[in-house]
Amino acid sequence: MFELNASKQLSIKNDVLSGLTVALALVPEAVAFAFVAGVDPLVGLYAAFIVGLITASIGGRPGMISGATGALAVVMVSLVATHGVQYLFATVVLMGILQILAGVFKLGKFIRMVPHPVMLGFVNGLAIVIFLAQLGQFGDGTDAPGWLADTSLEGSIIDIAWMSGSALYIMLGLVVVTMAIIHYLPKFTKAIPSSLAAILIVSLAALFFDLDTRLVGDVASIAGSLPEFSIPAVPLNWETLTIIFPYALILATIGLIESLLTLSLIDEITQTHGKGNRECVAQGAANTVTGFFGGMGGCAMIGQSMINVNSGGRGRLSGISAALFLLCFILFTSSLIEQIPVAALVGVMFIVVIGTFEWSSFRILRKVPKSDALIIILVSGVTVATDLAIAVVVGVIVAALVFAWEHAKHVIVEKHDNEEGSTVYKVDGPLFFGSISHFLSGFNVAEDKDDVVIDFGRSRVCDHSGIEAIDTLAERYMNANKVLHLRHLSPECHVLLKNAGSAIEVNRKEDPSYHIASDQLD
């Protein structure tokens, strides 16, 4: 129904206006995630400003928006509850240092190991999470039990005491109007981002008609001063490190995974190429700084990034503008921003959900292999049930296991006797941990001639399990007093073979040159 056509042209006007739109959408998100983490709203707003400004300035993906996110907030909540907010700031500093190291050692390249089905599941799951996060705005604002009380879902993100009557109808009406403006306005003019126009129009309408609807100011006050530098007030000893390091490692991992996946998604939308390792360093620098300025840390935000690119934001100025506008809201115009109806921002996020979700995945589920369809559904479900990092790791592991299982069947061992009276085996396919059982079952030591040749010309030994399988086979022929000749093995394989002995003929002139993955090779 909705088509988010992203402009591919870079312009200062588009960057500034899209930055303003993003800044307006950042306010309730940052406040909400601060509440999730159990800290003051300004801690979330400071994080959105500092992380957004630094990553936009020096990051590897112009046009991508970073700030406080829910994926990190849910990890922080137990740390804050147990040890206090100062330990959170220290953790964010250490988190940033770990992310900088990841960039320095170029670990960002491993994002290429994420298969496309995992990416689809990640995008779909994140769209669902963004949608569910907006449902809380439809609550009646009381402490009354939610509609899922006394069920297994009690206390979940959808366990809400829904508003009713005119309040609900006004909220829904404003959401629909916002979405309609965003959808239809670009058909008439693109002079102003449709999301920004929708927020302004709905805000003016609510003010003019004096509508009784929830405003940003009803959620939290965003007025504040400039963030001040301070060293986290925690003991600088081993005990503190043991407390914060596990949290810092988890936060750093989640932050980088979400940032690099968002980078890949924006790359695809804009048909450009970001720099993953540079983004890792930028995210780390941003979190290190925000930890010293009283922020809760953050990472790339797919929702706000989608708003930005679909509002025309392409350059670094869009992210910088968003951060500076957010700072202006905090310092000077908080009273105006607090008059924006929450429904307008919910409508913007619903459009983001519609644009983020890969609706084509429903169409391709029956066309792709069943394993890929399972991975898409699995990653989407795990993203919603747990968090992004776990979902991606689970998806990659399942994809790797499926790959190994399928390729384990591709090892073919062909046998024949040559004119010299030798038994010749030709191996075709990769030899690795998943295929060694099938490989060994293809040999019959008892029935073979006294002279045996195994040709690996159409095979490749991929890991140390393959080497051990060849060693096992060599030992079997040695025990049967038969001479074994191995052909077309790489030099690395010769080095690692233990049981070859004098019974194996090494034909180095015909051997290929490739590197085998083994811990025994330095």
**Cα–Cα nearest to 450, from 426, 485, 475:** 485
Q: For residue range 125-173, what is the model confidence (pLDDT) as tens digits?
A: 878 887 887 887 888 776 667 676 777 666 666 667 788 889 899 999 9
Q: For residue range 418-449, what is the model confidence (pLDDT) as tens digits?
A: 888 899 999 998 888 888 888 999 999 999 99
Q: Is 415 helix (H, G, I), strand (E, B) or coil?
A: strand
Taking the C-alpha atoms of residue 190 and residue 354, their distance in angstroms, rounded to an integer, is 20
Q: In which residue are the tokens 């239809």 written?
A: 184
Taking the C-alpha atoms of residue 449 and residue 420, their distance in angstroms, rounded to an integer, is 11
Inter-helix orientation angle 12-37/316-331, to 10°: 60
Q: For residue range 34-43, what is the model confidence (pLDDT) as tens digits?
A: 876 778 888 9
Per-residue pLDDT, 519: 52
Cα torsion at 161, 166, 172, 177 (round to 10°)?
-160
DSSP state of 341: B
Q: In which residue are the tokens 């879902």 written?
A: 153
Q: In which residue are the tokens 């109808």 written?
A: 169
Taking the C-alpha atoms of residue 484 and residue 505, their distance in angstroms, rounded to an integer, is 7
Taking the C-alpha atoms of residue 83 and residue 86, their distance in angstroms, rounded to an integer, is 8
In total, the chain counts a number of residues equal to: 522
φ, ψ of residue 413 in degrees (nearest 5): -115, 115
* Domains of the chain, earliest start first: 12-133+147-208+221-396 (no CATH), 409-507 (3.30.750.24)
The neighbour count for residue 404, using CB atoms within 10 Å, is 14
Taking the C-alpha atoms of residue 55 and residue 319, their distance in angstroms, rounded to an integer, is 8
Query: Is the backbone of residue 451 left (phi > 0), alpha (psi -120 to 50) or beta?
Result: beta
Inter-helix orientation angle 370-385/388-408, to 10°: 160
Q: Which two structure tokens, joined as six digits, stand for 317? A: 């100025």
Do β-strands 451-461 and 483-487 pair in parallel, antiparallel, or remain unpaired?
parallel
First to last CA, the chain: 56
DSSP state of 370: H
The neighbour count for residue 158, using CB atoms within 10 Å, is 11
Per-residue pLDDT, 238: 94
Taking the C-alpha atoms of residue 163 and residue 365, their distance in angstroms, rounded to an integer, is 37
The β-bridge partners of 463 are 517
φ, ψ of residue 154 in degrees (nearest 5): -60, 130
Inter-helix orientation angle 238-270/85-104, to 10°: 60
Per-residue pLDDT, 429: 87
Q: Which two structure tokens, joined as six digits, stand for 86? A: 């100062």
**What kind and span of H or E run contains 206?**
helix 194-208
Please list the ranges in the chain whose pLDDT falls under 50.
1-8, 501-503, 521-522
The neighbour count for residue 98, using CB atoms within 10 Å, is 20
Do β-strands 66-67 and 299-300 pair in parallel, antiparallel, or remain unpaired?
antiparallel
Taking the C-alpha atoms of residue 302 and residue 308, their distance in angstroms, rounded to an integer, is 10
Integer Rg of the chain from CA: 29
